[in-house]
Structure 1
Amino acid sequence: MTGAYAEGAAGPRKTEASGPLLAATGLRVTFPGRRGGPEVRAVDGVELAIGTGEIVALVGESGCGKSTLARALLGLLTPSAGSVAFAGEPLAYRARALRAYRRRVQLVLQDPSGSLNPRHTVYDAVAEGLRVHGVPGGRDERTAVARALARAGLRPPERFFGRYPHELSGGQRQRVVIAGALVLEPELIVADEPVASLDASVRGEILALLLRLRDELGLAALVVTHDLGLAWNIADRVAVMYLGRIVETGTVEEVLSAPRHPYTRALLSVLPGGGAEPVVLTGEPPDPARVPDGCRFHVRCPVLASGEAERAGVADACRTRDPAVLPAHGRDAACHWAAAAGREPDGRDGG
């Protein structure tokens, strides 16, 4: 059955549909402006695809639209334009269809303390989804809960059944949240800053768990994060988001070893041990209700400010022409300067 985990499965599973497991096409999410002002373009034209058993990191500054995009992909928001498809089937925004979809796609939130009801035991927290959707595979509830907790690394699972969130460490609470997602045997999880609230010593354990779930169960994941270091450690592909749009995409090695977009370079420059001179971006990201003309990054772009874009003959284009929306696959950057400079996918200047 599509969506069920096979015993002893290894490596990515195949879906019945060809193509990506989850795909967004021309996705836009807008909100009404304040006091009759211009609408807020929170997600402003996004193409994104996630394959079976693939981990994609969606990275960018706070307020760039990452969480709004994730909510739209989960069906928690209805897009203003564009579409979301799962296993080749367009997502329908009817209650019954969304209920079936959310069994196959689960959310893992950032703060386990806020995600767990302090009055519910671990058993009840994990069993909550089963009581809404039913127990998959014809198993009984207790067996399904124990199975999910064990997969999340809480063993023996029965030891945790009667505990409350305040009796657990931060890492254990996050594992309970992950178990609550796994109990329905989804095909994809959306993890929104899954380790941001954890101590550094625990983060590696949770990232290793996500990788193990991918390898053993073929579980796909969209990991929403502002941390490029996390993306390097866990992702197969990276999508860099700025002001509602993906501005660079490719494999993790391509994007993080040889970034093409000035925004990606700036984000990477401040990583500890990166070796590059830190790039300090001027000002705050523009208001998504007033997206600048031209390249939406040009008002903060160090390449334009330094005169490099002028020397490459693209300064006017940067200020007046919006780069095209990037395709869901492949290696690309929404940057006039990178295109004009003939920057190859390995980061070298072309001839």
Structure 2
Amino acid sequence: MTNPTTDPTTHPRTTTTATPPLLRAEGLRVTFPGRHGDPPARAVDGVDLDIGPGEIVALVGESGCGKTTLARALLGLVPPTAGRIAFDGAPLGRSTRALRAYRKRAQLVLQDPSGSLNPRHTVYDAVAEGLRIHGHGGDERAAVAEALARAGLRPPERFFPRYPHELSGGQRQRVVIAGALVLGPELLVADEPVASLDASVRGEILALLLRLRTELGLAALVVTHDLGLAWNIADRVAVMYLGRIVETGEVEQVLTAPRHPYTQALLSVLPEATGAPVVLAGEPPDPSRIPSGCRFHARCQILASGEAERAGVADACRTRDLEILGGTSASQVACHWARARADAAKTEASGAG
């Protein structure tokens, strides 16, 4: 599962340390009012997540699983219904002043650079916008030039007068990244940062994000549906399904030995996968009507095949909810069947000993 432009063996992963997290979410929930008398939609339904300084975490899942809502809540763009967010050890305030200060330190990079950039603004104005909003007191021209150069647009002055339509897709995404970098943030939240780009350009943008981590110590939350991208860039991966993280851990561990049936299904359709792809039945349930028990059980290939029954957990899968996974880097899974297998392996090992 490698990409020649961003082979994971060519960049160091951040190792787990006792360093306090830069960003921490605890018990985070975001609900939206239901339509036409429907119950509220539980878009984020209990999430713990830590991101350490200089760490890249990939948040992975199908469209509609809640990952973009979670990312926006972590940036203060969507108010949480419940739970707590802390940045650099301090609770995130909800006042305009507190959020303004926070957004200098945590910046969003959107999926579609064409939609992110005003077609009437030059590259210079697009990058300088954040400085003007936050009242930058230094040399604006020098700050814009430095941000563009860090984003790989050199010489930066050549790009100052250009408009978005005069740039390639990759160049437009670099302008968006420069607009985030100009404020000197500590955290980037990148929502599908390469989904709209040609395959030939994706590796360049991923390599740029890795270089920014190395040079500036930037942490990043990369929101994606692509597990291959997570392999190439992330230190840790969190797999999300129907508003909750169902498996998390170091990226090599999760993606080479996935324990949750949902993670296994996502990996089975990658080009590098061996064996038959797992075709999940139906669509994810409506977040206003989350099923009882494991929220994945209605589509679970393990339950459908009878393996969960043989493991003695089929009833639990259908009726018993699983607790929220912790936000740390430890390998965790929210699956009755996976835990039963682990328990059986421990019992077998102790008996053999």
Q: Which letter maps to 1:282?
A: A
Q: 1:260 aligned to 2:259? A: yes
Deviation, 1:343, is: 6.7
Do the aligned residues in 1 keep the contact of 2:294 with 2:319 (CA within 8 Å)?
Answer: yes
Note the residue ranges of structure 1 that are not aligned, 5 or more in a row.
Answer: 1-10
Deviation, 1:36, is: 2.1
Cα deviations by residue, 1:207-239 (Å, 9 ceiling, x for unpaired): 000000001110000000000000000000000
Cα deviations by residue, 1:213-270 (Å, 9 ceiling, x for unpaired): 0011100000000000000000000000000000000000010010000000000000
Q: CA 1:139–1:349 in 2, change beyond 3 Å: closer, same or farther? A: farther
Inter-partner Cα distance in structure 2 for 1:343 and 1:79: 36
Do the aligned residues in 2 keep the contact of 1:18 with 1:88 (CA within 8 Å)?
Answer: no
- 1:301-312 equivalences under 5 Å are 301-312=300-311
1:246 is matched with 245
Inter-partner Cα distance in structure 2 for 1:349 and 1:287: 38
1:8 is matched with none
Q: Which letter maps to 2:339?
A: A
How many pairs are equivalent?
Answer: 334
Deviation, 1:274, is: 1.2
Q: CA RMSD in A?
A: 1.8
Q: Which letter maps to 1:339?
A: R
Q: CA 1:264–1:201 in 2, change beyond 3 Å: closer, same or farther? A: same
- 1:105-184 equivalences under 5 Å are 105-135=106-136, 139-184=138-183
1:331 is matched with 331
Note the residue ranges of structure 2 that are not aligned, 5 or more in a row.
Answer: 1-12
Q: Which letter maps to 1:80?
A: T
After the TM superposition, which parts of structure 1 deviate over 3 Å for at least 4 consecutive aligned residues?
Answer: 347-351
Q: Normalization by structure 1: what TM-score? A: 0.92
Q: Normalization by structure 2: what TM-score? A: 0.92
1:226 is matched with 225
Do the aligned residues in 2 keep the contact of 1:20 with 1:49 (CA within 8 Å)?
Answer: yes
Q: 1:280 aligned to 2:274? A: no
Inter-partner Cα distance in structure 2 for 1:154 and 1:276: 42
Cα deviations by residue, 1:76-109 (Å, 9 ceiling, x for unpaired): 1111100110001000100000000001000000
- 1:37-116 equivalences under 5 Å are 37-116=38-117
Q: Which letter maps to 1:153?
A: G
Percent identical pairs in the alignment equals: 78
Q: Which letter maps to 1:253?
A: E
Do the aligned residues in 2 keep the contact of 1:107 with 1:181 (CA within 8 Å)?
Answer: yes
Do the aligned residues in 2 keep the contact of 1:127 with 1:180 (CA within 8 Å)?
Answer: yes
Inter-partner Cα distance in structure 2 for 1:139 and 1:118: 27
Do the aligned residues in 2 keep the contact of 1:342 with 1:350 (CA within 8 Å)?
Answer: no
Inter-partner Cα distance in structure 1 for 2:203 and 2:85: 32
Inter-partner Cα distance in structure 2 for 1:117 and 1:77: 23
Q: Which letter maps to 1:184?
A: L
Do the aligned residues in 1 keep the contact of 2:19 with 2:52 (CA within 8 Å)?
Answer: no
